[in-house]
Structure 1
């Protein structure tokens, strides 16, 4: 993948991947673009550096050819300032070197365990990039003699604070997770702490040094709690109490921007259009938090009179109580009076719905958002029976006019069509695999979730040159079709990881992401290459 100069590849319709060819070149590009962005010479929602690439999300990322044209001048103009900006204070991390893989690392490197520790503590590291999990930093600049491969079989559970090696990088696991790094020690330093103003201890460009200590101190992860309960007497009182939370009802808003430097993705609602419509129907300002309903039904009792709106996948609903019984209108604001119960069934077509509350769903924001990120474990916990929901404040305007429902949502047995843009790694696959992506039909597997839609079909195989190659971690975008070694694609949704290590053969068009998020298990999917021509989104099998 080494190149003489950076090349720019489209990553869907809203992002571009700059392939720099090496870690040093990627760091130079990232630093230069960061400086140009501060000067107003370059625009992006996020910049995501990785092992050999920089991902540009939004802004100039929508025009890869434009980036390629201006990149040489930006690099030349920003080089000196970028180098100066990259330096930062050194963070010292105390490590108890007693990891389960220390002996194996010593054998792999031909050193004693004491020599491994000595070399690991002698080096000065730089935070090259973040990813994999919030607060997980890839540290470069270590002793080349300590470059070791990942474990052949990843562990299902690695403790928070574990210090590991993988290839040319060192890193510290910020929380319990699976992983394949070689663990040589542990630290009591918290790499990720939601109680801090800046939760991540390490940011790109920072400097790190490890120090050996004798005592091992355990650290414990904290669980995110639901912020719906009303514990502040100065805040509005609760208006709903959950009676049936379904299989996954989440608080969601437009998501988190500006947190990529800490390894945190945007997340937010999976069905953006339905979310915007629901907020408009109840008179909320854009960005107000709402409830996103997934599998199963939902029911809640009104503790005070409230105005609600239901959008997205259509659900049969009833309101019952002291004033009688009536149906719930879809795409229209409706009133739920004190003492009444709202009961919603599962989605008839599609999968996800938005239930908006006039005034927005209240609760504490984290990194500027109330949304739940299911992969990172950030934001309010999924709703459970007994949770109380209160408004965030006053509505912004009057309720809106009824909105028509979407007639094209798929159900089991239907065929949904999604437009895709090839790349950025379609060149890792042979011509037959690229053709197979768009000529066969794919079935949505039951294991699908907000992280991604898992698809089954005839596998997509890599070409001979990349059959056994390992892709260095690089940024991935919403809608990416990432292909793991088994050849079965995963279509990334709202809670996808910030970076990934498998090639992305294509990216779903941004305008079709909402349809992708409505694909229930058993639905059939067909991909078609993006053109400017109108297309049929859903076909019903006869």
Structure 2
């Protein structure tokens, strides 16, 4: 049941490989030296089918373009010879730091070095960005010695100031923006660790080297004041009359940036986004509006071609005030293209089933791309802000066809009954005994109101771990079901943090993530084990053939 393939050869090798859902594998290594070596090897010489590489404290997560590629990569990882990562030829990033942090005295006592000794140890060694996580621009730095090993604070702060220089365990880091945090604060810097206006937003990416320099005061370079510009005139597009509970611009996400701490984000129901775009003649990845629970009302600026896919709802069009040529209102069908003439309004009603709807406009929603995507990432704050009443949203130029599509049939969407989702055992299913695994599968879980695009919080009978202690942070994926100490699973969705420190008991198969995203607040979910052939690692817990758990060639 342990879902592990052990590497038999000695030397610098991957220790084991665990499946993470259907399209990713997690390589476990002996230490940070091997983590850095494997990360460098995969970035310089990608394996066939490899999409992303995410290093963490003791592991490297590799995502693939298909389950078959994931199985092949898992076997290939076990055969790689690892050598120490070579130092980059580029220069060292120097970070000027004022050492006056709130926890400097405590760190001095914990290390036994004294305040001057802590400063000397921090500035006197070269640090390497081992991996990213927590937030874009937050790099976990490893030094050349362990002189500054300190525990995290027993009670995390609710707000750590931007630019705080900190220690935790054997790592150092700089907080790129104001956020909660439990690291020991020893100083502060004005260096901008994350800046989307730079060609490379991260000041230091994984593999880069950093040296801290003690100064009496930091000098921040004031950004140039923005030029006074009037809001752009929208000649063709949509005016947001009522945004509903939450309406966001989404496309198929920003891929390839997990190493910088940036999640994919993008539409939660990818099939519905593609369907809406296909109906109006857009490219499949064109940006559209994702809205939840109905209530979105938009007005056409110029004649528009629209389509709404996803949660089935009433779509009501109302003519401009005082118009006599058109009836007061009319209804249009879901999953079918329709015209919204200049001045007319469209209102999306409350869903009869499902939770999320996708409104596509011919040409696509025109928003400024960030790292190659127009998606809003609610976790990091990257991308367009949520839509607001009165906002003008221009239609872009992403129409791919000169004609609109034919009306399409949609799948059934989750309703008031129980939604069954197929899962495969998670990389840390062995943190739970058979009774906990049976309890996970054997009960119905209710979606709590605190759920959002980051993750669905589930309520039910808590699950008990069979292991003590905590797990070192490691890469994770959309669909992962993490189990915090309280025992209630959290189902990660598209805006999830790229690393997590709680054991993942199971992962929803990729093909059912769209359906999972349509389960409404208050809805219920039951999980069931998928066929073992769907994923690159373990078979169903409790029903495992002798060698089914191994990744082999």
TM over 0.5: yes
1:302-325 deviation per Cα after TM superposition (whole angstroms, max 9, x unaligned)? 111100000010121210113221
In 1, Cα distance between equivalents of 2:160 and 2:136: 15
Give 1:177 shift.
Answer: 0.8
Give 1:6 shift.
Answer: 2.2
The farther-off stretch of 54-63 and 499-508 is 54-63
Q: Does 1:404 align with 2:409?
A: yes
In 2, Cα distance between equivalents of 1:146 and 1:293: 48
Equivalent in the alignment of 2:369 = 365
Choose between structure 1 and 2 for higher RCO, CA contacts under 8 A separated by at least 6 residues: 2
Q: How has the CA–CA distance of structure 1 residues 70 and 423 changed in structure 2, closer, same or farther, with 3 Å as cutoff?
A: same
CA contact (8 A) 1:20 1:26 kept: yes
Equivalent in the alignment of 2:39 = 30
In 2, Cα distance between equivalents of 1:450 and 1:261: 21
Q: Does 1:445 align with 2:448?
A: yes
Q: Residue 51 of structure 2 is aligned with which of 38, 45, 49?
A: 45
CA contact (8 A) 1:361 1:389 kept: yes
CA contact (8 A) 1:44 1:59 kept: yes
CA contact (8 A) 1:36 1:42 kept: no
User: RMSD of aligned C-alpha atoms?
Assistant: 2.3
CA contact (8 A) 1:160 1:219 kept: no
Give 1:32 shift.
Answer: 1.4
In 2, Cα distance between equivalents of 1:135 and 1:291: 28
1:57-86 deviation per Cα after TM superposition (whole angstroms, max 9, x unaligned)? 12377545423432354436xx4xx83475
Secondary structure of the 1:113 match is helix
In 2, Cα distance between equivalents of 1:219 and 1:479: 42
Where structure 1 has 5 or more consecutive residues not aligned to the other structure, the ranges are: 223-228, 535-542
Secondary structure of the 1:315 match is coil
Equivalent in the alignment of 2:545 = none
In 1, Cα distance between equivalents of 2:458 and 2:133: 24
Equivalent in the alignment of 2:547 = none
In 2, Cα distance between equivalents of 1:240 and 1:246: 15
Q: Does 1:435 align with 2:433?
A: no
Equivalent in the alignment of 1:332 = 336
Equivalent in the alignment of 1:226 = none
Give 1:495 shift.
Answer: 0.3
Q: Residue 244 of structure 2 is aligned with which of 243, 246, 271?
A: 246
Give 1:452 shift.
Answer: 0.3
Secondary structure of the 1:434 match is helix
1:364-390 deviation per Cα after TM superposition (whole angstroms, max 9, x unaligned)? 111000000000100000000011011
Secondary structure of the 2:494 match is coil
Secondary structure of the 1:24 match is helix
Map residues 95-494 of structure 1 onto 2, 5 A cutoff. 95-216=97-218, 231-232=231-232, 237-321=235-319, 322=323, 323-324=326-327, 325-393=329-397, 395-397=399-401, 398-407=403-412, 409-411=413-415, 413-463=416-466, 466-467=467-468, 469-494=469-494
Where structure 2 has 5 or more consecutive residues not aligned to the other structure, the ranges are: 535-553
Q: How has the CA–CA distance of structure 1 residues 63 and 432 changed in structure 2, closer, same or farther, with 3 Å as cutoff?
A: farther
CA contact (8 A) 1:156 1:177 kept: yes
Q: How has the CA–CA distance of structure 1 residues 362 and 419 changed in structure 2, closer, same or farther, with 3 Å as cutoff?
A: same
Q: Residue 16 of structure 1 is aligned with which of 17, 22, 25?
A: 25
Moved over 6 A (4+): 1-4, 218-222
Give 1:405 shift.
Answer: 2.5
Give 1:89 shift.
Answer: 2.4
CA contact (8 A) 2:238 2:395 kept: no
Secondary structure of the 2:272 match is helix
Instruction: Report the TM-score, using the length of structure 2 for normalisation.
Output: 0.89
Give 1:338 shift.
Answer: 0.6
CA contact (8 A) 2:273 2:284 kept: no
1:401-436 deviation per Cα after TM superposition (whole angstroms, max 9, x unaligned)? 1111322x223x421101000020111112211121
Q: How has the CA–CA distance of structure 1 residues 247 and 148 changed in structure 2, closer, same or farther, with 3 Å as cutoff?
A: same
Equivalent in the alignment of 1:56 = 62
In 2, Cα distance between equivalents of 1:139 and 1:533: 39
Paired positions, count? 514
Equivalent in the alignment of 2:505 = 505
